[in-house]
Structure 1
Amino acid sequence: MDKPYTNQLGRRHMFIRMLWSLVWTVSVRWLPRSMGSGWKRFLLRSFGAKIAPTAVVYSSAKVYFPSNLTMDDYACLATDVDCYNVAPIHVGRFATVSQGAFLCTASHDISSSGHELITQPIEVKERAWVAAGAFVGMGVTIGEGAIVGARAAVFKDVPPWTVVGGNPAKFIKKRVIK
């Protein structure tokens, strides 16, 4: 017998999310892009995020659950990034997640009649760049210095210092810094 989908995250999680969404919308979303970085870091930390003092989160970025977010020194979530962090997301030092990128740590079990929620963390390592409009799926690690090209869809780990692109993302070349 099929059982209907139910949210396994619970009421406490839902309440925190509602409160977070309200606080971010009223206190931040109206600010110009990168203005008020200290204020945004303070609010994210107040909801449990681990944010370095030099990290940048643009006002239009969406963070689903702050306590599942870690951002190291000079990490950046740019304009309109959707950080769907039901599971942890870690953005390393000097890593950038560009405009409109979607980091997605959750899906549903397609082999189950209950369609249960499944989650895995995402890691964007030091000096990596997730370019505009890219999709990064659950359980993926973007290696140190790797680049995910614009509009790419990444479902598997990206090795360090490589460039990938396309849907699904494929190896394009090694990244060499001159």
Structure 2
Amino acid sequence: MLLLKTRLSRTLRTIKSRIYRSLKVADDLELFERTQHGEGCVIRNPAHINDPSRLTLGNHVFINDGFVALTHGEISIGDYTLLAPRVMFLTVGHDYHYTGREFRERQTPRPIKIGRECWIGAGAIVIPGVTIGDGAVVGAGSVVTRDVAPWAIVAGNPARFLKTRVPNSLAVLP
């Protein structure tokens, strides 16, 4: 386990985790085997990640409090992406044609991919199989049911395209 310039709170427990430089984690968050974090990430308490081994964070990702990730499928979050409070990523759904026990057992996991430099607003929900392109913004309370183009701004339930965001040519990111 690599712990370089890492600030960990007193109640953090790690089990064979790979933690890179400058990861800051709030109280009571557990990181499990094969969790992948880039440098400079922040995960605020509380956060619920049912299978952290399926969550991959790029560098300088900020996850605010109340994050929920149902990681039956893979979730990847690109560099410099910001998640506001109470964002939910759901990688599994059910086939509603089935009933009873069969309904509960027939889950279809699909990955969620979030690009670099994205901003996901408070209370947004992203459903299975969605890709959000680099630089996209998702408005607060939105339900993202389909892919979002790079540099698009979307909002609503379901999330709809509002306009294109102009990349900041002055920003210099590694």
Superposition TM-score tier, normalisation by shorter sequence:
0.7 to 0.9
Matches within 5 A, 1:7-22: none
Alignment partner, residue 166 of structure 1: 156
Q: Which moved more, 1:109-118 or 1:150-159?
A: 109-118
Instruction: Kindly indicate which of the two structures has a greater share of residues assigned to helix.
Output: 1
Q: Report the 3-state secondary structure (helix = DSSP H, G, I; strand = E; otherwise coil) of the residue aligned with 2:53.
A: helix
Q: CA deviation at 1:177?
A: 3.7
Given the two structures, how large is their TM-score scaled by the length of structure 1? Answer: 0.75
Q: Is 1:67 aligned to residue 57 of structure 2?
A: no
Quote the Cα distance in structure 1 between the aligned partners of 2:129 and 2:87. 16
| Number of corresponding residues | 145
| Unaligned residue ranges in structure 1 (runs of 5+) | 1-25, 30-35
Q: Is 1:81 aligned to residue 71 of structure 2?
A: no
Given the two structures, how large is their TM-score scaled by the length of structure 2? Answer: 0.76
Matches within 5 A, 1:87-102: 87-102=73-88
Cα displacement string for residues 122-141 of structure 1 (whole angstroms, at most 9, x for unaligned residues): 01100011110001000001
Alignment partner, residue 114 of structure 2: 124
Alignment partner, residue 18 of structure 1: none
Q: CA deviation at 1:145?
A: 0.2
Contact 2:142–2:157, Cα closer than 8 Å, also in 1: yes
Residue identity over aligned pairs, in percent, reads 30
Instruction: Kindly indicate which of the two structures has a greater share of residues assigned to strand.
Output: 2
- TM-aligned CA distance change 1:161 to 1:58, over 3 Å: same
- CA RMSD in angstroms comes to 2.3
Q: Report the 3-state secondary structure (helix = DSSP H, G, I; strand = E; otherwise coil) of the residue aligned with 2:56.
A: strand
